[in-house]
Structure 1
Amino acid sequence: MADEEYIGGKHSVLEALKSGRTINKIWIAENAQKHLAQPIAAEAKSHGIVVQFVDKRKLDQMTDNMQHQGVVAQVAAYRYAEVDEILERAAAKGEAPFLLLLDEIEDPHNLGSILRTAECTGVHGVIIPKRRSVGLTATVSKTSAGAVEYVPVARVTNLAQTIEDLKKKGVWIAGTDVAAKQQVYDTDFKIPIAVVIGNEAKGVGRLIKESCDFLVKLPMFGQLNSLNASVAAGVLMYEVVRQRHRS
């Protein structure tokens, strides 16, 4: 990845500021609404970051017409976490590990949505493969509404090998598959768990599926037999929350 990149959108830029990420400069459109520009300008000033008001067309050129809402920041590239860091994060909180493994998610909007829900549900970290998978891009950041600043993402060379390593560390691997016999709601998610979400079109790959400890499915009552990847991930994450935080 490059050493620097651009992110756009009010939430993405504000969360990058609040999280302490290295920001070199912020540009705000001259005609930006006051309620959008003021909080960002004030937060940037408190961090000593230069803010420049420019014509909106300059922002369009800088971001290749990304939906930036009139605010763009030049930031240091995202730092990917190590898998062990994610497990240490769970241990520091005194919680059983709760991870997501994304098997070749290609749509940045799906990844962004998954990260947003992951942040809300207390997922300790997300693991993605380096190949045939979208990484942490500006579009992912914007779709995640800034959640990308708070959810550690590890990028691994071999997802199947990572699964085996997690198993050795006591983490159970649950794959998602429409043909699974076991329903999500009949599954114990209070154990140390990593849930595998598959590719938008193909689902979880055969090799990864065979590496899982067990497979689960969401019940389907309509004519279609699958959900959007980010929606399925969201339902699964909240079932883990329901079980772990049941009063």
Structure 2
Amino acid sequence: MAGNDQRRGAVRKTNKKGATKGSGGQVRRSLQGKGPTPKAEDREYHAKFRAKKLAERRAQGRHEKEQDEFVVGRNPVVECLHAKVPATALYIAEGTAKDDRLSEAVYLAHNRAIPVIEKAKHEMDRLTGNMMHQGIGLVVEPYKYATVDDLIDRVNESGEPGMIVMLDNITDPRNLGAVIRSVAAFGGHGVIIPERRSASVTAVTWRTSAGTAARLPVAREVNLVRTLKRLQQAGYQVVGLDAGGDHTLDTYDGTDPVVIVVGSEGKGISRLVGETCDTIMSIPTEKWVESLNASVAAGVVLSEFARQRRTSN
């Protein structure tokens, strides 16, 4: 009945819901921008976020592994001890048959105050990742890399024409170790590797190099093109190895300061590095042989250049 809402206790009834005027700013706020959308890898609910975290954990695991590297095998261990590779412990498997190399390793370790620790064979297998350790393993400290300027200084101090090998797209540490050994054997002065997407000096490298990595500096540089230009400014000729090269090893004079650039067997030298080379050179081989392994190719060229330098003196 009209007017009933005037009596005491009465309540006006209405069909309206919520505020009678306006929206309290809710519509205006809903129309405002929320800023740029975060990248997929930064959104916790996204699969790329989980993939990024997994990659970080794996990278951390690799980093930790690099802090505790093993060189295994009697000859490599003795070579490393003779070369005074920084080491923290020498492990010997219990029950290992003794010979001259094992006795020599223990003697050298004692002389350098390196702890000699006996381990059960199964524990030795676990520590070395089931590698063929021959009952002996040397724990080496992380490798201390040089720089390209260190290599240039080393050559200047020697008074010899420099001979340096640069590796491009080489990801196998055994190839790196073999190249280091060849460079040392043929009187080279150092090896250069890129900081990313490359094999580094690990226990596998130490073993393959038979300890020569302790005596031959390995430089790790961020930008190979910039590094080559630095060497060119210092008077080096840069020779890239490629099967389709304009020059051959038979005719090239390797007696002057030289940088030998070696690419992987599959990818070869990267485009920008190849464009920076002064010469692209091929190694004469039988036509039906498609290509040489990187460490073999480097060894062939180093051997020839070393021969030329011996005969020119």
Q: Is the CA contact (8 Å cut-off) linking 2:85 and 2:211 kept in structure 1?
A: no
Q: Distance in 2 between matches of 1:85 and 1:12?
A: 26
If each structure's strand is expressed as a fraction of its own residues, which one has the higher value?
A: 1
Q: SS in structure 2 opposite 1:186? A: coil
Q: SS at 2:250's partner residue?
A: helix
Query: 2:30 maps to what in 1?
Result: none
Larger RCO (CA within 8 A; separation ≥ 6): 1
- Which residues of 2 match residues 28-177 of structure 1 at below 5 A? 28-35=92-99, 36-177=101-242
Shift of 1:215: 0.9
TM-superposed deviation, 1:3: 4.1
Partner of 2:78: 14
Q: Deviations over 1:17-51 (max 9, x none)?
A: 22233321110122323223211011111112211
CA–CA distance in structure 2, aligned partners of residues 159 and 86 of structure 1? 14
* Structure 2 counterpart of 1:127, one-letter code: I
Name the amino acid aligned to 1:62. Answer: L
Q: Distance in 2 between matches of 1:83 and 1:53?
A: 41
Q: Equivalents in 2 of 1:28, 1:186: separation in Å? A: 51
Contact 2:92/2:117 (CA < 8 Å) preserved in 1? yes
One-letter identity of the residue aligned with 1:201: G
State the one-letter code of the partner of 2:223: N
1:26 partner letter: L
Residue 242 (structure 1) aligned to one of 302, 307, 310: 307
- Note if 1:227 corresponds to 2:292: yes
Provide the TM-score with structure 1 as the length reference: 0.95
Which whole-Å CA distance do the structure 2 matches of 1:168 and 1:223 have between them?
A: 39
Contact kept? 2:166, 2:262, Cα under 8 Å: yes
CA distance in 1, matches of 2:85, 2:200: 18
User: 264, 267, 281: which one pairs with 1:199?
Assistant: 264
Q: Structure 2: any 5+ residue segments left out of the alignment?
A: 1-62
- Give percent identity, aligned residues only: 37
Tell me how far 1:220 sits from its aligned partner: 2.1
Q: 1:143 to 1:21 in 2, by over 3 A?
A: closer
Q: Pick closer, same or farther for the CA change 1:4–1:64 going to 2, 3 Å.
A: closer
- The one-letter code of the counterpart of 1:167 is Q
- Structure 1 residue runs of 5 or longer lacking an equivalent are none
Larger Rg: 2
Q: Match for 1:230: what amino acid?
A: S
Deviates more, 1:211-220 or 1:64-73: 64-73
CA shift for structure 1 position 221: 1.6
Structure 1 position 241, deviation (Å): 0.5
